[in-house]
Amino acid sequence: MRATSGEVAGLTNPLWARGLSSIMSMILVPAHPQPIPNRGGETRVKLRSIKCMTLALLVCCAGLSPSTGADAAEPIRIGAVLPFSGGVELYGQQAKLGLDLAVKDINAAGGILGRPVEVIYADDGTRPASAVTAMRALIEQDGVLAVVGPITSQNLNAIAPLAESLKTPLLYATNYEGGKCSRYFFSFSTVPNQELGQLLPYMNQTFGDTYFLLGADRVWPHQMFDIAQPLIEKLGGKVVGKQFTLGTEADFTPLIDQVAATKAKVLLFALKGDGMDFIRQADDRGLLKDITVAFLGLSEVDLGIFRGKGQNMYTVVPSVATSDDASFMAFVARVRAESGVDVAVSNYVMTHYNTLIALKAAIEKAGKVDKEAMVDALAGLLIPSPTGPVTINQDHHTTMNMFIARTHGRELATVRALGEITPQPGCKLADR
């Protein structure tokens, strides 16, 4: 990962190349720089040292050959507060795939108003305090125009107030429980009516009306289950059990037996990271022959963890990597061309890609690089995406195409295309 995007790319003038080679020979750089930092402090040191070297190159070589186009302009800096450690780094890495591809696409097309885009990554360590520190540094020290991230609801709750107080747009591209409507917050993934509201009717009709709710003892599962229970009752269903895990469990046998004893037909599942081994153990003990999993937040990046277990689990997502839609197939192919043929391409890749495409469209609509103008331009904006149009509504949540999918082998397979689903975030902006 390079900390500055495109500042010394695309240089073909021989005189420039000779001058650049000469100067590079005098600068000591690591032979194998690490692509993802492990600690916030290291992130900042590495980024700043790379920036200093880049600045030195630009100053020293300025007279060798004039630069033109987006490469010659001051970059538009965007911050990304994501987990690259702490237990959910798989999702941080997926988000980065989408952001990196968007940067490449935008800069290849001339940037935004003639300026290149650069993303500065900060590891939040999956900890709220680290997320706050990282976001504050990105805004106050790096001068970013906007921040993308984080992944977890706990970290979102920690940094959302900072976006308001520092008047900096926060572009959040992970499914969440809803309830956040403010001037500087924009959601690019799903809220419960787009996910639970589509999944539960399908499960109730197809597999049965008795439910066991199993989730991690964290913000998102608690709030999602609070929303799910009345929806289940409205469908004529019944919750026959509910349990939250502590994250310390290694042997899930007692919990598997507890679920089996209820004879529930549907297991509404909201475990990530430390609880994913439940699926393998439940499959091995035969539980999944008698109960069908409705998996909240499931994506392709999770499937390798199951090692072929957990077939025919159901979820609702904004994209499915095995889609036969030509546009999405092309998107998946481009991600894999950049990152490897075996890389998982989950909806996290697409939704984070969309954040920068929307940012570009908003700045160009506003005609200037300005936070307040960008916020105003984002509301009501319609952008293209790999799965079809995405509309950023006046409440700063997105209408998008949704899909019911199930696990099939080591992939997700589309069960039903739901079309565009308008979000109901459970809140509204005070001035709208």
Closest CA to 184 of 165, 203, 211: 165
Query: CA distances (Å), 154 to each of 129, 217, 382, in order?
Result: 10, 12, 29
Burial class (CB in 10 A: 0-12, 13-18, 19+), 388: middle
pLDDT at position 37: 43
Amino acid at 17: A
**Structure token digits, residue 268:** 């509404």
Give the model confidence (pLDDT) of 342-366 as tens digits: 999 999 999 999 999 999 999 999 9
Asked if the model's pLDDT at residue 66 lies above 80, the reply is no
pLDDT at position 100: 98
Q: Classify domain 196-317 by CATH number.
A: 3.40.50.2300
Asked if the model's pLDDT at residue 50 lies above 70, the reply is no
What's the CA gap between 220 and 87, in Å, rounded?
16
Interstrand relation of 398-408 and 411-421 (parallel, antiparallel or unpaired): antiparallel
Give the model confidence (pLDDT) of 250-297 as tens digits: 999 999 999 999 999 999 999 876 678 899 999 999 999 999 999 999
Interstrand relation of 390-392 and 398-408 (parallel, antiparallel or unpaired): antiparallel
H/E stretch holding 387 reads none
What's the CA gap between 111 and 122, in Å, rounded?
23
Q: Where exactly are the structural domains of the chain?
A: 196-317
What's the pTM?
A: 0.84
Q: Indicate the average pLDDT of the chain.
A: 86
